[in-house]
Amino acid sequence: MRTSLQTFRPRKRFAPGTVRYKLQKCAQASLHSGVDFRLAVQLPPEENLNDWIAVHVVDFFNRINLLYGTVSQQCTEETCPRMSGGSKYEYLWQDGVTYKKPTRLPAPIYIGLLMDWVENKINDQQYFPVDPAVPFPNEFHSICSKILTRLFRVFVHVYTHHFDTLVNIGGEAHVNSCLKHFYYFVTEYGLVAARELQPLKELTRRLTAPVK
């Protein structure tokens, strides 16, 4: 059985000189310059939407993985026996292979399986082709939607059950920024259903409210 610490893993990177490497640098530069997230998520002129989505899926995987790493020592099978977001929301794991039916799992086990599942998807060239001459599959958007929907559940769990830890280490501003970026991206391209975003609806409303 894996522990929560095993979830922490090296960053996934794009090869220098590729289109996606360029787009990744473009996206990072926009964020570092303090640009409005609404603008930062918009597709650059003359770029391919699938490449833009692929870059962001990998980036959010990296960032959410690092985010969970900061609280993983406090997220154990004893402290978090269910993958939940408070009393109203619980997530069951199903991958169609080992877990063929929705299965209740402790949060660290669920998140470990989730990260493994995402990593396998983004490393599979059937879904995320490396060769620019190879087209993305027809189901690419639905795959990315499922990946991002599942990654959002990590935000839900961390905010609901481990936000005090983030505050104690001074990480709440960074996590809020990451969530805000994620929210603007998935809503811009319709990649996560509104019902899935419901657990953090009030928080995202506050984070995205116009500054008065």
Convert the pLDDT of each residue in 16-53 to its tens digit.
555 444 454 444 544 454 568 898 899 988 889 999 99
Residues paired with residue 90 on neighbouring β-strands, in sequence order:
84
Element (H, E) at 181: helix 172-188
Residue 26 is labelled as binding a ligand: no
Q: Name the H helices within 85-198.
A: 107-123, 140-161, 163-168, 172-188, 194-197
pTM of the model: 0.85
Domains of the chain: 4-207 (1.20.140.30)
Mean pLDDT, residues 124-148 taken together: 94
- 161 has binding-site annotation: no
80 is in an annotated binding site: yes
Instruction: Check the annotation: does 181 bind a ligand.
Output: no
Query: Is the C-alpha dihedral spanning 191, 197, 200, 202 positive or negative?
Result: positive
pLDDT at 196: 97
